Amino acid sequence: WLFKTELWKKPKRRRIPWRLMFMTCVTRLYEKYSDYVTSEDKETLTAKLQEVEDWLYEDGE
Residue 17 lies in a domain: yes
Give the residue among 20, 18, 22 at the shortest CA–CA distance from 10. 18
**In this predicted model, which residue has the larger pLDDT, 5 or 25?**
25
Residue 5 lies in a domain: no
Q: Give CA torsion, residues 8, 21, 16, 59, to 10 deg.
A: -50
Give me the pLDDT at residue 56, please.
78
Domain range for 22 is 11-56
- What is residue 16's predicted lDDT score, i.e. its pLDDT? 74
Measured on CA atoms in the order 1, 55, 31, 34, is the torsion positive or negative? Answer: positive
Nearest by Cα to 44 from 24, 19, 20, 25: 25
Residue 51 maps to a domain: yes
8-53 per-position pLDDT tens digit = 555 666 677 778 888 888 889 889 999 999 999 999 999 998 888 8
